[in-house]
């Protein structure tokens, strides 16, 4: 078992990780991936890592945060007849699934989601770099050998879940699509392509059915978490504009972000000198108003994603969005403060009612008893939580609210698996 934050640091340095509940067997998890996005230089200004690394919020929470303790019961998998698939006769009821980047943090979380949700796959293929090939990962009680990713890996695959960075997606996703697999890509490589659907299943599931290039894009983690709160309100009141400030965990920067926070905290408390490496400024006991690289208009790429992706997902080309993204010294789960303006009058009570029976989002809002969402509440959980709902005092027909979600799970792995469930 991983021994608290010191274990996270040592594991990141050694690129190994001991995982709970026997889920992973003989596995070296790619905490520092050898498949880096071409834009990722190991520093904050180079971009938010596509393959985010989960980490415990405190030493005694390691098992709960890396993986939910309950796993799906073991069951026998039925094999798919490859010739039938290639002849176009296969129905997507027991698809052959591949995970690209299977040994990375999001890949491991994808595997967990497939098992916990009893995904009806017929066969599972795990793909990773040459360094990880030959390792084993356990799924439904069986050891599965990790294979090296090649352009020929997809001849018998129906659904390919990609989470190995934008560079790998750009190189290998077209090969998977050409072989007949539907690619669900967690990177930013294809998100804004006109002929690639960008899907949050609770919001625009119908978009997943139309994928002419056999590629479906998973949105940015902060976009997903924010829209889980905004979509029900848009449905009820008509969304016009969004002003948002994000509070993004260091795990969004990869293992290096986790290590830097822990090492800086230790250095400060023991009076030792240190030099920031991942972030442009000290992250321990501090916040940094930069996530991703700055653009010519003064916004970062991360800040522009929320508007560009939100307009596409919600089919709101006129939606106005202004966002400030901030890195905070939290290990896992992102938070977003949102001011949303609507076309129709709205108040807090009506807003809370709009979330009733909406999947994937819960209202946690009882200020009289100091009940509101915090990152620890969502870490390792499926649902996003919304609270601090109140009428804005500046704009007409506007609300202020606070939303929190696990960026590794709903912001990445779970959303991809939910898309696969639609197919």
Provide the annotated active-site residues.
221, 334
Angle at 219 between CA 216 and CA 220, to 5 degrees: 150
Helix (H, G, I), strand (E, B) or coil at 247: strand
3-state secondary structure 140-181: CCEEEECEECCCCCCCCCCEEEECCCHHHHHHHHHHHHHCCC
Interatomic CA distance for residues 287 and 250, integer angstroms: 11
Give the N- to C-terminal CA distance of the chain in Å, as an integer: 36
Three-class secondary structure of residue 222 per DSSP: helix
Alpha carbon distance 203, 188 (integer Å): 19
Q: Quickly tell me which residue has 């290998």 as its tokens.
A: 172
Residue in this structure with the two tokens 């030959």, named with its chain if needed: 134
Region class of 37: left (phi > 0), else alpha (psi between -120 and 50), else beta: beta
Residue 7's Cβ-count burial label (10 Å; 0-12, 13-18, 19+) is middle
* Pairwise CA distance, residues 310 & 392, whole Å: 22
Beta strands 334-342 and 398-405, pairing class: antiparallel
Place of tokens 């659904």: 159
CA distance linking residue 252 with residue 61, whole number of Å: 19
CA–CA separation, 229 vs 404, rounded Å? Answer: 9
């Amino acid at each position: 078992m991983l021994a608290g934050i010191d274990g996270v640091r040592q594991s990141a340095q050694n690129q190994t990780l001991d995982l709970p509940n026997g889920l992973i067997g003989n596995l070296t998890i790619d905490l520092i991936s050898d498949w880096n996005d071409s834009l990722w230089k190991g520093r904050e200004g180079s971009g938010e890592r596509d393959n985010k690394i989960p980490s415990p919020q405190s030493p005694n929470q390691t098992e709960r945060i890396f993986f939910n303790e309950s796993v799906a019961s073991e069951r026998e998998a039925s094999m798919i007849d490859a010739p039938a698939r290639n002849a176009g006769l296969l129905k997507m009821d027991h698809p052959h699934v591949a995970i690209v980047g299977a040994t990375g943090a999001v890949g491991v979380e994808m595997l967990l989601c497939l098992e916990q949700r009893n995904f009806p796959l017929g066969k599972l293929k795990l793909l990773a770099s040459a360094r990880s090939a030959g390792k084993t990962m356990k799924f439904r009680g069986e050891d599965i050998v990790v294979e090296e990713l090649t352009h020929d890996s997809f001849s018998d695959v129906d659904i390919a879940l990609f989470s190995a960075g934008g560079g790998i997606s750009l190189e290998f996703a077209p090969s998977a699509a050409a072989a007949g697999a539907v690619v669900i890509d967690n990177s930013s490589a294809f998100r804004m392509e006109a002929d690639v659907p960008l899907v949050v299943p609770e919001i625009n599931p119908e978009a997943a059915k139309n994928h002419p290039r056999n590629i479906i894009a998973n949105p940015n983690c902060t976009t997903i978490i924010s829209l889980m709160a905004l979509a029900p309100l848009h449905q009820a009141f008509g969304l016009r504009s969004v002003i948002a400030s994000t509070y993004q965990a260091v795990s969004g920067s990869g293992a290096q972000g986790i290590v830097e926070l822990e090492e800086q905290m230790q250095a400060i408390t023991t009076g030792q000198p240190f030099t920031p490496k991942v972030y442009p400024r000290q992250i321990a006991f501090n916040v940094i108003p930069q996530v991703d690289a700055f653009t010519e208009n003064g916004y970062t790429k991360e800040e522009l994603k929320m508007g560009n992706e939100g307009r596409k997902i919600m089919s709101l080309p006129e939606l106005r969005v202004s966002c400030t993204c901030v890195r905070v010294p939290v290990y896992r789960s992102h938070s977003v403060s949102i001011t949303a303006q609507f076309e129709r009058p709205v108040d807090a009570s009506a807003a809370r009612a709009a979330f009733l029976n909406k999947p994937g989002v819960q209202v946690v809002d009882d200020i009289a008893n100091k009940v509101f969402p915090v990152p620890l509440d969502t870490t390792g959980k499926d649902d996003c939580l919304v609270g601090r709902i109140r009428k804005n005092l500046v704009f007409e027909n506007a609300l202020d609210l606070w939303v929190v979600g696990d960026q590794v799970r709903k912001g990445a792995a779970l959303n991809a698996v939910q898309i696969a469930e639609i197919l």
